[in-house]
Structure 1
Amino acid sequence: MSLNNLDQLYRTVIMDHYKNPRNRGVVAGDAVTIDMNNPTCGDRIQLQLQVEDGIVKDAKFDGEGCSISMSSASMMTQAVKGKKVNEALTMSHQFSDMMLGKELDTDELDFGDIEALQGVSKFPARIKCATLAWKAMEKGVREE
């Protein structure tokens, strides 16, 4: 697949998560709630995590922001549901590395749609948009 076609595919995946967000809403029952924002661009997120026995049982978000921040939140909540907390944290650290332009080890973890955000690393001003939900998740599992 040519780079141009791959870029178009990634844009399509990002826009799909933006227009049809997965896990937007409120967690039913007890959950830790984390509010974070990116003051440089106005993105804001409220993330709710339900963690039981060291496993992320549910993750939902609400907020507003650019297509990068909202699609990243959608992808992140999909990715961490059902994962052990340490796996979710490992995934978050690898995502941060990817945002810094480092190569992903796709053998270690399956990033699925998240790989579509790789191109954000070329735009330093947008990295905080992409990592906002992930930083909220890290904070949330540590507060749990």
Structure 2
Amino acid sequence: MPNEQDIYEEHVLDHYEDPYHRGTLENASHMHQGKNPLCGDSIVITLRLDDENKVSEAWFEGEGCVISQASASMLIEEMEGKTIDEVKAFTAEQMLELFGPKLTPNRQKCCLLSWKILQTALHSPLNEDGETAAPGGPSLGEEQ
């Protein structure tokens, strides 16, 4: 069984206390938001995709536990500069490895929230009014 104290490793706390690209991305091309209804964690991810199909910039905003917020920061930092295909190929298992400490199944949902939202954001372009089209991201079964 994972030790709850492992969650508070230095690199996790660094991302929680000093997150990478936390805030709003002006002139974003893609955006999606989501919430874990079981615990209330919420994340909004905004992206700017360039003409070469790369994530030129990524930002997040959110509220929630250390796991959800630190993992969002880690993910955003990891995905900048990646192609759309590389982002789509990044699995839930890789996300859990990126986070580091072993998590219980319920805590894995906190860690995977930003991953699910990022995958859906790729399919959620913003129109000129800043509104998104219908999302088409991963199904819940893809997180396992």
Q: Which runs of 5+ in 2 are unaligned?
A: 126-144
What TM-score results when the alignment is normalised by the length of structure 2?
0.75
Q: Which runs of 4+ in 1 moved over 6 A?
A: none
Give me the whole-angstrom Cα distance separating, in 1, the residues matched to 2:9 and 2:83. Answer: 30
Match of 2:47 in 1: 49
- Structure with a larger share of its residues in helix: 1
Identity %: 35
Aligned equivalents of 1:76, 1:56: Cα separation in 2: 12
Alignment of 1:90-109 (within 5 A): 90-91=89-90, 93=91, 96-98=92-94
Distance 1:99 1:20, change over 3 A: closer
Say whether 1:116 aligns with 2:115. no
* CA distance in 2: counterparts of 1:50 and 1:27, whole angstroms: 8
Cα shift at 1:99: 6.7
Root-mean-square deviation (CA, aligned residues, Å) is 2.1
TM-score normalised over the length of structure 1 = 0.75
- Asked if the contact 2:99/2:111 (under 8 Å) is kept, the reply is no
Structure 2 residue aligned with 1:21, among 19, 25, 41? Answer: 19
Task: Map 1:1-144 onto structure 2 (within 5 A).
Answer: 7=6, 11-53=9-51, 54-91=53-90, 93=91, 96-98=92-94, 114-117=98-101, 119-120=102-103, 123-144=104-125
* 1:80-116 Cα deviation digits (max 9, x unpaired): 101001111212x1xx12578xxx6xxxxxxxxx252
